[in-house]
Amino acid sequence: MGLEAARARLIDCLSQEISDKRVLSTMARVPRELFVPPDSYYSAYEDMPLSIGFGQTISQPFIVALMTQALELKGDERVLELGTGSGYQAAILAELAKWVVSVERVPQLAESARQVLEKLGYANIEIHVAEKTLGWPAGAPYDAIIVTAGAPRIPNALLEQLSFGGRLVIPVGSRWEQDLLRVTRRKKRNFIESLGGCRFVPLIGEGVWEG
C-alpha cells in the first residue's frame, strides 16, 4: 500500500473516535513520513509509535489526535509543548494555533526537528533545548500546554505557566503506565478529567522524574 492510501486509511480509522474535523484534516495534511527515520518511512501511517532514537518515540497517531483534540484549539492560542521529539506534534499544533513554543531535552532531536520544520515552512514554532526549570517560563503564560512524556504528578511549575481557563494535557502515573489527564486551570480549584490509559517515556526534569 502506498503512502497516500495508508494515510487515507489512517484518517478514516481515527475519524471513528476523533470528532474534531480540524484535527483530522491537519493530520491528513502534515507529512508524518518526514518526521520518522528512513527505515520507518513506509510505516509512517501505521497507528503505532515509532522509535526516533535517543530512547524517544514519535507518538501513535491516535494519541496525537486525542491529545490535540483535548486542547480545544481555536487558532489564536499560544501553546507550550514539552518533548519536541521528531517535531511532528509541533507541526500539528502550529497548523491549529497561533504560536508554538516547544522544548526538548535531547539537543540532537531539537536540532533535527528544527531542520524538518523549517524545511516545511513553519514560521510560528520556536524550539528550545530544555533548561533546569520544567517548561519554558520565559514564554508564559500559555493558553494550552501539551506534555508528550509521563509525569508522576501534575507539575505545579507547568500550572503556573498556564493561563486561567487554559488546558494542560499530560500523562500522569508510573514510569511505565499513565492516565492521560486534561487539567483546566481555575482560580479556586482546577478541573481534572481522565482521557484514558496510555504509555509514554518518562518526563525528566525538576520536580518530576530524575534522569
Neighbours of 131 (CB within 10 A): 14
Strands 50-53 and 56-58, how do they pair?
A: antiparallel
Distance of CA 164 to CAs 44, 47, 146, Å? 37, 34, 16
Residue with cell 487554559: 166
Query: What is residue 163's three-state secondary structure?
Result: strand
State yes or no: is 59 an active-site residue: yes
Q: Which residues pair with 57 in a beta bridge?
A: 51
Residue with cell 492560542: 77
Residue with cell 502550529: 94
- Residues 22 and 15: beta-carbon distance below 8 Å: no
* Catalytic hit among 15, 40, 43, 59: 59
Instruction: Extract the C-alpha cell encoding 57.
Output: 518515540
CA proximity to 129, closest of 102, 91, 147? 102
CA proximity to 52, closest of 103, 134, 97, 113? 113
CA proximity to 15, closest of 28, 32, 34? 28
Q: Which residues are the active-site residues?
A: 59
